[in-house]
Structures are given as C-alpha cells and as structure tokens.
C-alpha cells in the first residue's frame, strides 16, 4: 500500500515539475524596471510611457509569438526600441516586425496585431509629447 502511495506521489511531483519547467521556458520576455519603449527619430530617442495594460498586451505578443531564428531585417529599419529585463528589441511600425537584437530572432505580427501595437504607440507617443511640449499641441494634430 505504501509503495502505491509513494509511486502516486512521485508521479504527481514529476508531472508538476515538468509543467513548471514548460511554463518557465515559455515566458521569455519580462518587463524591465523602468524604460520599456522608446520612439526613435532623427531627433533622438523619446521615451514612451505605456500603461500596464498596454505593456501587458505587447509582452503577451512577444511571449506567445512564433519567433524565427535570425534577423530578417536590419536594426536601422526599426523606429522603436523595446527594452525588457534581458533583451533589446527593435520594432518597425511599417512592417510590424520585432527584431530581438539580443537573441537574434525575428517576429512578424499579423495585420491586426500590427495595427493594435501601432495604435498603442501612437496614442502614448502623442500623450507624452503633449505633456513635455504643451505649446506644440496644435502642430501635432
């Protein structure tokens, strides 16, 4: 009887251990402590402050995406820079492509995902620009 209980307990622990490793392996991208996204322009980097929900959406796409090995484009093609705890990623709003510059991988978003990410970036970039440059509101719209 004790042998059966031990085997059952051992099987349960093994299953839980395997599940925990699978879950840990999938979660590759985690938020950095501070700056997460920067808009890149000729004038330089401008920090974009995304709210928690929007950061979560983007991190979810990064973690659930079908990444391909290798960089499909050049870092210079990106117009945004994302910084996670371990990676630097370039993002192109034109193509909807993330380049993981640290791990040398590429993720191309669906049209719907690209439009959503671009809308989030545009919304927050405009809000941040208005906060930092209150006199230029009319020229932005």
pLDDT tens column, 10-53: 555 555 554 444 434 455 888 765 567 888 876 677 888 888 88
pLDDT tens column, 89-141: 999 999 999 999 999 999 999 999 999 999 999 888 765 555 554 443 333 22
Q: What is the pLDDT of residue 134?
A: 45
Place of tokens 């910084």: 83
Q: What is the pLDDT of residue 37?
A: 80
Task: Please give the Cα distance from 137 to 131 (Å, whole number).
Answer: 9
**80-106 residues labelled b (16+ CB within 10 A) or e (exposed):** bbbbbeebebbbbbeebbbbbbeeebb
What average pLDDT is seen over the chain? Answer: 76
Q: What is the pLDDT of residue 101?
A: 93
Reported as a pLDDT band with limits 50, 70 and 90, residue 7 is low
Kindly report the CATH number that applies to the domain delimited by 32-140. Answer: 2.60.40
Domain ranges (residues) in the chain: 32-140
Task: Please give the Cα distance from 91 to 105 (Å, whole number).
Answer: 12
Q: What is the pLDDT of residue 126?
A: 62
pLDDT at 4 over 60: no
pLDDT tens column, 64-76: 999 999 998 777 7
């Amino acid at each position: 009887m004790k042998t059966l209980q031990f085997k059952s307990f051992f099987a349960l622990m093994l299953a839980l251990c395997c599940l925990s490793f699978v879950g840990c392996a999938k979660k590759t991208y985690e938020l950095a402590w501070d700056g997460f996204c920067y808009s890149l322009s000729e004038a330089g980097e401008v920090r974009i402050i995304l709210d928690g929900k929007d950061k979560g959406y983007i991190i979810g796409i990064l973690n659930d995406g079908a990444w391909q090995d290798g960089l499909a484009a050049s870092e210079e093609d990106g117009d945004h820079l994302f910084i996670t705890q371990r990676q630097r990623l370039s993002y192109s709003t034109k193509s909807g492509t993330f380049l993981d510059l640290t791990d040398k991988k590429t993720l191309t978003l669906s049209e719907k995902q690209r439009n959503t990410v671009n809308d989030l970036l545009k919304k927050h970039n405009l809000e941040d620009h208005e906060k930092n440059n209150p006199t230029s509101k009319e020229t932005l719209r």
